[in-house]
């Protein structure tokens, strides 16, 4: 099962490392990463595989959001089907 991780906030060093470490600790595999600076703000989108994750999608989503608060970024982890549904016919 795939999920989408989006990370947004003020750019600083180490954000990718922190998010990747969180995902690795949960046994989540990163499939695709795209990161840019939009108007001075850090914006990253990851497609991840959570088939072998150590916890459920709902828990992962909660923990990702909590990590975001901890490191001062907005982090969302969502089922990829939502994006597929909205953007493909």
Q: What angle do CA 16, 56, 47 make, to 5 degrees?
A: 35
* Min separation Cβ 74 and another protein, Å: 8
By the rule CB under 8 A, 6 interacts with another protein: yes
Distance CA 29, CA 72 (A): 23
Tokens in use for 51?
Answer: 């088939």
Q: How many residues bind another protein (CB under 8 A)?
A: 27
User: Where on the chain is the footprint of another protein (CB under 8 A)?
Assistant: 4, 6, 8, 32, 34, 36, 43, 45, 47, 57-58, 61-62, 74, 76-87, 89
């Amino acid at each position: 099962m795939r999920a989408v991780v989006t990370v947004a906030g003020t750019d600083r060093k180490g954000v990718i490392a922190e998010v990747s470490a969180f995902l690795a600790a949960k046994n989540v595999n990163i499939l695709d990463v795209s990161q840019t600076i939009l108007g001075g703000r850090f914006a990253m989108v990851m497609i991840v595989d959570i088939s072998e994750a150590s916890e459920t999608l709902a828990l992962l989503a909660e923990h990702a959001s909590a990590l975001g608060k901890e490191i001062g970024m907005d982090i969302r982890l969502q089922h990829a089907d939502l994006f597929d549904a909205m953007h493909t016919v």
